[in-house]
Structure 1
Amino acid sequence: MRIALVAVLALAAAPLLAQTPPAGPPGAPDATRVVSGTYQLDPRHSQVLFTVNHLGFTEYTGQFTAPTGTLVVDTANPGNSKVDVTIPIEKVLTTVVGLDTHLKTPDFFDAAKFPTAKFVSTKVTINGTSATIAGDLTLKDVTKPVVLTARFIGAGNATQGAKKLNFGFAATTSVKRSDFGINYGIPGVSDKVDLTINAGFVAP
């Protein structure tokens, strides 16, 4: 009985063992793989990170998860490309549950009154595999101009499902939180906030 069971398991495993493992990830830093069109931000693989200086001792990073948005790509005229990102304030997340709760209060983001923040581009300038994205950041009903420095990460077709084109970039900028009416804790917790948007996009 044991010999028969081992034989059955060996036959079942044979097709898996015969498969050739992938040579590498499907995405590559090749911008020519990206074609013109409108792409959706992938909330499962995108983050908005924020970093502050805490009491002069450490840098502390939190994040907003599950952002949404779109990117319009015009490869013939890259300057016509547009991006918008909506950030759910309720999705703020750090390593401290009590801090997560405090950040949602009027001391900081006031999530009940201002449930989302938003970035909308006004100008996109492409420089090889990097880009400068000027736009407006709206937070707590205050809109200020910001400039993102974006770095292309990679593009390629997904290996599962509909195997749609995916690509992404990482964008950084810095803002003063006091410009948006978030003054709690300054100067112990820095006014300057470094932002990073890790954005993954997928074809519709």
Structure 2
Amino acid sequence: MKKLLLAASVISLLAACGGPSSDKATTEEKKDAAAVTGESFTIDTAATTVNWRATHKGGMAPRFGTIRTDAGSLSVENGALTAGNFEINLTSLTTDTASVTEAGKKSTDLDAHLKSPDFFDVAKYPKAKFVITKVAPYDSLQQKSLLPGATNLISGNLTLKDSTLNITFPAQVAINGNELTATAKFTIDRSAWGISYKTDGSPENWMISKDVEVGFNVKATKK
């Protein structure tokens, strides 16, 4: 009985703290892009967004917001996603005002800080890029994902600033006639791309979680 109560307490604590809400992407060295075959679908930049969420160890509320995509295309062969890429416009990064609850703080101030050389340095690196290197079926018997309805494991090269690494994460992909939609939510370690505030070991950098949650909401239509 005591063990059950302890387990319940732990679960309640995790829920109160938010708990893990997304899969942690595996990270490897850069790989070759998947071959472009089949039909081409163009990314709908008006309907495609990248969401982000970061946490602070100093008791501040989690920060979250969106980033626009600029361009991209996906390849579909025999009714399945096979390859593709899209650009992420880091100059469009915005923080949701609802995530900034401290008195005197503004979301626009945080936007400016994230775009500065302290983090993404968008004046020098205005674009990020994601290039698919592999698409595999998702097997719920072999993998356990926090993403409801995952259909595929997608691997791709993510370029941030001047670093490119390959990440793999579950995604839900649906192809209906001339339209393709894909959603994913996962965490990456920002420090793997050399994104650190001040220095990697500084107290200021330590206060910001290295894990950043990234969400893709992609829509593409056949050319």
TM-score, normalization by structure 2: 0.65
Q: Could you tell me how far apart the structure 2 residues matched to 1:86 and 1:117 are? A: 6
CA contact under 8 A between 1:153 and 1:170: conserved in structure 2? Answer: no
Q: Deviations over 1:167-195 (max 9, x none)?
A: 31102222111111211142222101111
1:42 alignment partner in structure 2: 44
- Residue 137 of structure 2 corresponds to 126
**How well do the aligned residues superpose, as a CA RMSD in angstroms?**
2.0
- Give yes or no for contact 1:123–1:133 (8 Å, CA) kept in 2: yes
Alignment identity in percent?
31
Write out per-residue CA displacement over residues 40-84 of structure 1, whole angstroms, 9 at most, x where no aligned residue.
1111111111111123543321211234211001126x47x1021
Question: What is the aligned partner in structure 2 of residue 193 from structure 1?
Answer: 212
What's the counterpart of residue 89 of structure 2?
88
Does the Cα contact within 8 Å between 2:173 and 2:181 map onto a contact in 1?
yes
Paired amino acid for 1:41? I
The match for 1:167 is 180
Q: Bigger radius of gyration, 1 or 2?
A: 1
> Deviation string for 1:117-162 (max 9, x for gaps)?
1111111012486110111111011011111211135635xxxxxx
Q: SS where residue 178 of structure 1 aligns?
A: helix
- Aligned mates of 1:56, 1:82 — CA distance in 2: 41
One-letter identity of the residue aligned with 1:119 = F
Q: What is the 5 A alignment of 1:49-128?
A: 49-55=51-57, 57=59, 58-75=61-78, 78=80, 81-94=82-95, 95=97, 96-127=107-138
Q: Secondary structure at the match of 2:215?
A: strand
In 2, the alpha carbon distance for the partners of 1:75 and 1:127 equals: 17
Amino acid at match of 1:148: F
CA separation of 1:72/1:153 partners in 2, compared to 1, >3 Å: closer, same or farther? closer
Secondary structure of 2:112's aligned partner: helix
Task: Find runs of 4+ consecutive structure 1 residues off by over 6 angstroms.
Answer: none
- Give the 5 Å matches for 1:137-176: 137-152=158-173, 155=176, 165-176=178-189
5+ residue gaps, structure 2, are 1-37, 98-106, 140-149, 198-203
| SS of equivalent to 2:119 | coil
Ranges in structure 1 where 5+ consecutive residues have no aligned partner: 1-35, 157-164
Q: Structure 1 residue 101: deviation in Å?
A: 1.2
Paired with 1:107 and 1:144, the residues of 2 have a C-alpha distance of: 21
CA 1:55–1:67: 2 relative to 1, 3 Å: farther
Amino acid at match of 1:140: K
Aligned to 1:11: none
SS in 2 for 1:183: coil
